[in-house]
């Protein structure tokens, strides 16, 4: 006589494939939270250091151009004449990124004007590059602070991207040989800028 062994009913979930998409989705969410957290930290740090604007793309790149040849560019100044970096070879160049709505830039503008007046006859040129702004607001800023050094907009952002600008104000010091010798994110201190210019002029 055969014994009847009761058959267990199959579980409704038996044999079903587990949702493998949960793992990559979870990892993606964690990565996004990490990026957002880092961006928030960076912006908070930027405010503490006198920086008015931070780009997330620059934060992710982390590329430093110090010691490398400065990317060449041509900008059309607010006064009209084009300004080309390669034409300045043999002189020390101060390249400053700014915007009219940037509060630290307002503190920095008089410093740059004073330094420019003292060094323009010693082989130093200064260019202000206006970004993320309107032409009207930028021109009003130049008039308000009586800036006599050339200023130009970067309407497409190509120059800003080429230099990997992290925040504004941001200043680059380019040596006579066309290489970037220094970079400052945040407000430049007048004594520091003068000391760096003196060192660059001696080279």
- List domains and CATH numbers for the chain: 53-202 (3.40.30.10)
CA–CA separation, 111 vs 193, rounded Å? 9
> Residue 126 and residue 169: Cα distance in Å, rounded?
14
Q: Which of 25-34, 117-126, 129-138, 191-200 has the lowest mean pLDDT?
A: 25-34
pLDDT at 40 over 90: no
Distances (CA, A) of 81 to 84, 97, 171: 10, 19, 22
Give the single-character DSSP code of 47.
H
E-assigned strand segments in the chain = 53-54, 74-76, 82-84, 92-98, 124-130, 151-153, 167-168, 170-174, 180-185
- What percent of the chain has pLDDT above 70? 69
What is the 3-state composition of the chain as percent helix, strand, coil, each rounded to the nearest 5? 40, 20, 40
Q: Give the model confidence (pLDDT) of 102-118 as tens digits.
A: 999 999 999 999 999 99
User: pLDDT at residue 47 above 80?
Assistant: no
Q: Say how far apart CA 80 and CA 85 lie, in whole Å.
A: 16
151 - beta bridge partners? 128
What is the β-pairing status of strands 53-54 and 151-153? unpaired
Q: Which of 199, 147, 149 is nearest to 173 (CA)?
A: 199
**SS3 label, residue 98:** strand
Any idea which residue has 């044999």 for tokens?
A: 15
Cβ atoms within 10 Å, residue 150: 18
pLDDT at 69 over 80: yes
Question: What is residue 26's predicted lDDT score, i.e. its pLDDT?
Answer: 54
Contact criterion met (CB below 8 Å) for 161 and 51 = no
Q: Which of 29-38, 43-52, 55-64, 108-117 has the highest mean pLDDT?
A: 108-117
Mean pLDDT, residues 142-151 taken together: 98
């Amino acid at each position: 006589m055969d014994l009847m062994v009761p058959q267990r009913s199959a579980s409704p979930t038996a044999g079903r494939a587990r949702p493998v998409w949960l793992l990559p989705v979870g990892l993606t969410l964690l990565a996004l939270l990490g990026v957002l957290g880092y961006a928030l930290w960076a912006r908070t740090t930027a405010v503490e250091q006198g920086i008015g604007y931070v780009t997330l793309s620059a934060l992710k790149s982390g590329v430093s151009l110090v010691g490398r040849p400065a990317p060449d560019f041509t900008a059309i100044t607010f006064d009209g004449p084009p300004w080309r970096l390669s034409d300045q070879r043999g002189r020390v160049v101060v390249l400053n990124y700014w915007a009219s709505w940037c509060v630290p830039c307002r503190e920095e503008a008089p410093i740059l004007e004073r330094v420019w007046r003292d060094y323009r006859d010693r082989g130093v040129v200064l260019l202000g590059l206006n970004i993320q702004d309107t032409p009207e607001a930028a021109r009003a800023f130049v008039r308000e602070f009586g800036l006599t050094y050339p200023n130009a907009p970067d309407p497409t952002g190509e120059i800003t991207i080429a230099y990997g600008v992290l925040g504004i104000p941001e200043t680059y010091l380019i040596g006579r040989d066309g290489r970037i010798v220094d970079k400052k994110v945040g407000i430049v201190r007048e004594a520091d800028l003068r000391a760096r210019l003196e060192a660059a002029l001696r080279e």
